[in-house]
Structure 1
Amino acid sequence: MEHLVTTGDLIAELAARAPKLGGNDAGWPGLTIYRFVEPTQPQWEEIQSLSLGIVAQGRKAVIIDGKTYMYDPFNYLILSSHLHFQAQILEATARKPFLSFVLQIDPAVVKKVSADMLEHRSVVAFPPERVARIHQDKGMVSALDPEMMSAVLRFLQSLGTGADRRVLTPMYLQEIVYRVLQREQYARMLQIAAKQSGQNPVSAALTYMRKHYAEQITVNDMAEQVCLSPSSFSHLFREITDRSPYQFLKELRLDQARQLLLDGRLSVTDVSRAVGYSSTSHFIKEFRTRFGTTPRAYVDAETLGVQLDALRDGAS
């Protein structure tokens, strides 16, 4: 008799593949399994490419552009590339740890599966107004139905042996994409995959920005890299990233600055210069706008949090 997949099967599989706290490398490119045994404070995270996230146990909040998405067991998110967001574990205990995974998906796989589906007319059609809402609703949460859960479980189980990983895992990955494309988030996944394609000039601009963010680059400089006029480039960039080129560059600089500050080897002034700010006061103002506090207060708060965690660990 065929085994009926249950929620417990997925929980057990993730628990077995996540022996340590935090992120666990699960043996497949772009796949990370997370385990937490207590709630956490909000943390800034970044998604570099089209990704699927699924929670199996516990509860998590994802905050994107000021909007909070509750991420409960057996729901999934389709996350866009180059996405900055805050995440917070809300429910987790040693007995019932928070368990989830994030899987990066190659846009080429989405293109292949969607092409096969269109050829056989398998894509579900939704009303235009619903498609528009899906396009706009970044990080939308959907239910993990039994068919998709079964595909996800088979994908994870196939990672166990070399032969299965070579032959079966790519097939099950395609099935996961196929299941998403059959459901309400199909338009969102197709849109993100198209935007992330290497043929998109914005991809080249993003690479250039990440290499030269500490320099005094302008929109004209970015546009020249992809052979577009500044106005055309700015319009396309905003359409794909939901940000202006300057806004994205600013967020990139401030995120890099946050890491340098936590490293503790540079002063606030040196950090501001290292990430491309000529004015320290301007840097402090923009840092406060993005993170809600001054650079020095941010570092002090993080340091205090680490010290308190160490005291709690020592007391236990």
Structure 2
Amino acid sequence: MSSEGQLQLREAELTKLVSRFATKDGTNLTRISSLEFIRSVKPLKPIHTMHEPALCIVLQGRKLVSVNGEEFFYRKGDYLVVAVDLPVIGEILEASETEPYLCLRLNFNLLQIAEVSKEYKQHGTNKGISERGIFVDQTDEVIVEALIRLVKLLHTPEDTEVLAPLIIKEILYRIMQGKHGDRVKNLAAKGSKLSEVAAALYYLKKYFSREIKIDELAKQVNLSPSALYHHFKQVTTMTPIQYQRALRLQEARRLIIGEDIKAADAAFKVGYESPSYFNREYRKMFGKPPGIDRKENLKIYNT
């Protein structure tokens, strides 16, 4: 059998395994805390979210993820890697009752990348170059095979604690071997521009409600303001100010819809002093004022 035929068989096996655990629409959590399955029997309208670092493999259907207007399409046979925290808009484009959208998501963090880089001597190249912190690549048989073994552990919980971390390391190693692997390797490479931008993202995420000047942020990550501005935009598609604004508005939206907090109070909590300015910014990002947005989207936060 050809290598392409072998891959298709493995993908079919993985899809069947995931289908057994993805029993409801939405996000299906598993015994492996970093492993999730997403299912939908119908296309879904665009949803704003803060996407944390993860590997996402579509097994059925098709999805669009956009970052500040830049679009990334992926479908069966593709995987998406989000290497740093990014505000994204996700939209499920193809799904049906007979063939639901099905996605496997494996979350990871910088510590795991650092461990794999050190253990397997995966050192990034082109450390002075910054590239997008998100990319799409094609799946191959070795990645799918490792994912099958990971999902099968859900049938033997007694083995999970020992074997799951080893298989996850293997999967991250395989991603690092791909054509975009340097983007992941450089997250943990001391002195790389991507690692410095990642540090700036962490600082903004931690202190997003404060007023942060570009000089202060640049000093935190040992870059000049101009260098930080350039590399930050290369990695995230946006400026530090735009990124901080997205963090604030995403959190405000979570508070308004998810915790039933008044818009003015949410605005104050995330760092806005003017409710009217907050409402304008909110409408610009989400397409409608907070009150209407809450009424229309309560189901998203309650499912």
TM-score, structure 1 as length reference: 0.76
Cα distance in 1 for residues equivalent to 2:285 and 2:241: 14
Aligned to 1:310: none
Q: Counterpart of 1:109?
A: 112
- Residue 83, structure 1, aligned to residue 86, structure 2: yes
Deviation for aligned residue 1:142:
0.8
Match of 2:95 in 1: 92
Shift in CA distance, 69/41, structure 1 to aligned 2, threshold 3 Å: same
How far residue 241 of structure 1 moved from its aligned partner, in angstroms, is 5.2
Asked whether the 8 Å contact 1:287–1:294 carries over to 2, the reply is yes
Relative distance call for 1:190 and 1:272 in structure 2 (3 A) is same
What secondary structure, in the 3-state scheme, does the structure 2 residue paired with 1:33 have? Answer: strand
**Is contact 2:40-2:101 (8 Å) kept?**
yes
Q: Pick from 165, 181, 184: which aligns with 1:170?
A: 165
Contact 1:220 1:230 in 2 (8 A): no
Is residue 39–residue 91 contact of structure 1 (8 Å, CA) maintained in 2? yes
Q: 1:149 to 1:231 in 2, by over 3 A?
A: same
**In 2 relative to 1, CA 55–265 (structure 1 residues): closer, same or farther, beyond 3 Å?**
closer
Q: Deviations over 1:112-169 (max 9, x none)?
A: 33344448x9x9x9xx7xx96xx53443211111121111111211232234213322
Moved more, 100-109 or 34-43: 100-109
Question: CA offset at residue 187 of structure 1?
Answer: 0.8
* Cα 1:162/1:267, change in 2 over 3 Å: closer
- Alignment of 1:36 with 2:29, yes or no, is no
The more displaced of 105-114 and 84-93 is: 105-114
* 2:243 paired residue number: 248
Segments of 4+ moved more than 6 angstroms:
195-198, 227-230
The count of corresponding residues between Structure 1 and Structure 2 is 288
- Structure 1: stretches of 5+ with no match in the other structure: 307-316
1:17 Cα deviation after fit: 1.7
Structure 1 Cα separation of the partners of residues 221 and 133 of structure 2: 29
Q: Secondary structure at the match of 1:12?
A: helix
- Matched with 1:277 is 272
Which residue in the other structure is 1:219 paired with? 213
Q: Which amino acid aligns with 2:30?
A: A
2 CA distance for matches of 1:288 and 1:74? 36
Aligned to 1:14: 18
- The CA RMSD over aligned residues, in Å, is 3.6
- In the alignment, the residues of structure 1 paired with residue 228 and residue 294 of structure 2 have an alpha-carbon distance, to the nearest angstrom, of 34
Counterparts in 2 of 1:266 and 1:29: CA distance versus 1, 3 Å:
closer
Mapping 1:133-148, distance limit 5 Å: 135-148=130-143
CA drift of 1:98 comes to 1.1
Any residues of structure 2 matched to 1:151-162 within 5 Å, and which?
151-162=146-157
TM-score between both structures, scaled by the size of structure 2: 0.79
Asked whether the equivalents of residues 159 and 169 of structure 1 are also in contact (C-alpha less than 8 Å), the reply is no
What does residue 253 of structure 2 align with? Answer: 258
Letter in 1 for 2:186: Q
In structure 2, the partner of 1:314 is none
